[in-house]
Structure 1
Amino acid sequence: MNDLSVKKINKQIDEFTQSGKIPSELVFGYKTYAVLMQDDKFADQIMKGTENPIVRFYKKLKITLVTDKHYFQVK
C-alpha cells in the first residue's frame, strides 16, 4: 500500500459501488493515512464530523484508522 494515491482510492470506491454495494467506510493504516494527508487533493476533501469533530469523512465516507502501518479497505 505504499503506492496508494487519491486516484487509486477513488477508483476502488467506484469499483465497490459498481459491484452493487454501497460503501460506508474507508479503513486506513495510520502510515497510509499520514502519507495521503500530505497530498492536497486528499486533504482538501477531508471533512470533520458535525456530531463528533474527531470523526473524519472523505467523500461522505467515514474514515477509520487501524494499527496496521500500510492498509486500505473500502467497507
Structure 2
Amino acid sequence: MGDDPETSFVNSYLQMWNMDNLFVCGSSAFPHFGVTNPTTTAAALTYRATEGTIDFLKNGGQLVEAKN
C-alpha cells in the first residue's frame, strides 16, 4: 500500500493501481509479522476500502492520484 505505483500495488483505498475496479480487502495489503494482533487494522482498512468502493461506483476511475 502506498502513493506510488512503482513501489506499491494498491493505493490508500486498497484500489489496485493498474485495475480501477479491483479492491484488495483484508490484511494482505500490509506487512505481517507485527508485534500486535492485526485484526483491528484489517477491519479499518476494509472499512476504508468500502468507502473507496462506494466513491468508485459513483464517479469511476482512480480514487488517488499517483505521485511520480
Q: TM-score range by the shorter chain?
A: under 0.3
Name the TM-score, length of structure 2 as normaliser: 0.27
Structure with more relative contact order (C-alpha pairs < 8 Å, separation 6 or more): 1
Name the TM-score, length of structure 1 as normaliser: 0.25
